[in-house]
A = this chain, B = another copy of it.
Amino acid sequence: MLALVAKLNADPAVHGILVQLPLPPQIREEAVVHAIGSLKDVDAFHPENVGLLTLGQPRYYPCTPHGCIELLRRNGHDPAGRHVVVVGRSNIVGKPLAVMLMQKATAANPAGGDATVTVAHTRTANLARVCRQADILIAAVGKAGFVTADMVRPGAAVLDVGTNLSGGKLVGDVDPAVAAVAGALSPVPGGVGPMTITMLLANTARAAELIGGPVSG
């Protein structure tokens, strides 16, 4: 697998490399992900790209967090100056999303949210009370129906990042009863998921610009 990554790193016709996770248990994910050349790392999982993001000098935005921010902005819920509560602290969603939301927006970092940000999780005391502060509540905890109506302030915007299989159906982290309380609620499927794919394509186009190399078509 490392040999394949090395071959793709060296191939000037390849601009982006994504490793579909999870890998089988006998392969160390970290070793494979870190082997991807940082310029071809369109998932933005490489430590160098995570570091540049955290420093407010992103090369690539991670796809799901970026999709969340675009989805909010394009639906009239700009996080600037608002209190955003992120439930979940994963490396793929919660943590990078919180970092992006707290940063100022700059020319080099246009997705910066300029929000007040709280990161909560399953071990948060008084979770419902913490969540009810949110102007924008983001559920990224990976448990079906985890966010219930009592955790949502009436009128708040709720973004559901969960993708859980429940009885053969894809369901989010947000209980359907939240729809009656929230001012807006992203659906699962069809909400954040397609945004993730869109941002991955945007990163791949950006990689082609950064790397150069042969262009066809």
Chain A interface residues (CB < 8 Å from chain B): 30, 46-57, 81-83, 89, 91, 95-96, 98-99, 102-104, 114, 116-121, 123-125, 130
Contacts of A104 in B (CB 8 A): 89
Contacts of A102 in B (CB 8 A): 89, 95, 98, 119, 121
A99 & B130 in contact (Cβ 8 Å cutoff) = no
Instruction: Indicate how many identical chains form the complex.
Output: 2
Contacts of A117 in B (CB 8 A): 118-119
- Can you spell out 17 A-B residue pairs with CB atoms less than 8 angstroms apart? A46-B51, A47-B47, A47-B57, A50-B51, A54-B91, A55-B91, A81-B123, A83-B124, A89-B104, A95-B103, A98-B98, A98-B102, A116-B118, A116-B119, A116-B121, A117-B118, A117-B119
